[in-house]
């Protein structure tokens, strides 16, 4: 009888361990490894972890991949147009934090669909979590002036600087980086639409562009990135 009870306890313990492991370690889609930009206000993007997720990776050396396959910009544009996206999916951009904005912006332009398919920049969390498996995080953006006519957009500029960080301006007024979110909130409280037109020089680091988007999203704004021709 004692032997039977011991076997039952072993079976129950083993079963609980397997169930717990499965719950904490869901299948993660294989992809190209890059160093993601760390953000504080990104949203959970679980659909970026599905098998049919449309993930475009930009490595630190400028290589571009769709899934795990190398792809050119013209091929990426064509693939974006020909892919039948599900309503709850988006185009996920996984760009290396060390990339210059000049290598990421063309990818954003190649994957834009005039607002029909959301574009999401995948990021990492700046704060540690106790869970061994973290859901993908991201910031939704749009490329081009897609906001309706008559919208009072707040213009945020990032310009090259000899300082450690790019020069930051809001509606042509220079501000400090820590003041970005608060200044945007002040504009919105005065009645401006919660829309940010972000115009970043292609020479600035991509990570700084993401940080500006992160602060804008924290202030409640929808962010539109200026295309390279603007």
Domains and CATH numbers, the chain: 38-225 (3.30.420.270)
* Whole-number Å distance between alpha carbons of 153 and 150: 9
Q: What is the pTM of this model?
A: 0.82
* Whole-number Å distance between alpha carbons of 208 and 50: 28
Q: What is the model's pLDDT at position 140?
A: 95
pLDDT tens digit sequence for 141-183:
999 877 888 888 999 999 999 888 999 999 999 999 999 999 9
Q: At 58, is the pLDDT very low, low, confident or very high (cuts 50, 70, 90)?
A: very high
Give me the chain's average pLDDT, please.
84
- Cβ-Cβ contacts under 8 Å for 216 (sequence gap 6 or more): 156, 180, 181, 184, 196, 198, 223
Between the alpha carbon of residue 123 and those of residues 44, 153, 192, the distances in Å are 10, 25, 28
Burial string for 71-108 (b: 16+ CB within 10 Å, else e) reads: beeeebbeebeeeeeeeebbbbbbbbbebbbebbbbbb
* Whole-number Å distance between alpha carbons of 141 and 115: 9
Mean pLDDT, residues 108-128 taken together? 86
pLDDT tens digit sequence for 207-221:
999 999 999 999 999
Q: Alpha helix (H) ranges present in the chain? A: 2-24, 73-82, 101-110, 180-189, 206-218
Contact 141, 120 (CB under 8 A): yes
In terms of C-beta density within 10 A (0-12 exposed, 13-18 middle, 19 or more buried), how is residue 151 classed?
middle
């Amino acid at each position: 009888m004692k032997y039977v009870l011991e076997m039952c306890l072993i079976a129950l313990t083993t079963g609980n361990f397997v169930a717990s492991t499965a719950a904490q370690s869901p299948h993660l889609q294989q992809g190209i490894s890059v160093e993601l930009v760390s953000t504080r206000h990104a949203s959970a993007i679980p659909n970026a972890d599905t098998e049919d997720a449309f993930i475009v990776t930009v490595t630190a050396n400028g290589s571009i991949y769709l899934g795990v396959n190398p792809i050119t910009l013209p091929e990426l544009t064509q693939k974006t147009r020909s892919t039948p996206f599900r309503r709850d999916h988006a185009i996920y951009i996984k760009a290396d934090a060390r990339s210059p904005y000049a290598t990421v912006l063309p990818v954003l332009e190649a994957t834009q669909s005039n607002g029909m398919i959301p574009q999401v920049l995948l990021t990492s969390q700046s704060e540690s979590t106790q869970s061994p498996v973290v859901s993908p995080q991201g910031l939704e953006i749009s490329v081009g002036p897609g906001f309706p006519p008559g919208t009072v957009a707040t213009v945020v500029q990032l310009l090259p600087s000899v300082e450690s960080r790019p020069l930051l301006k809001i509606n042509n007024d220079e501000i400090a980086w820590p003041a970005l979110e608060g200044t945007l909130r002040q504009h919105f409280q005065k009645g401006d639409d919660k829309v940010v037109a972000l115009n970043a020089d292609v020479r600035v680091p991509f990570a700084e562009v993401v940080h500006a988007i992160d602060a804008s999203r924290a202030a409640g704004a929808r962010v539109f990135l200026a295309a390279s021709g603007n």
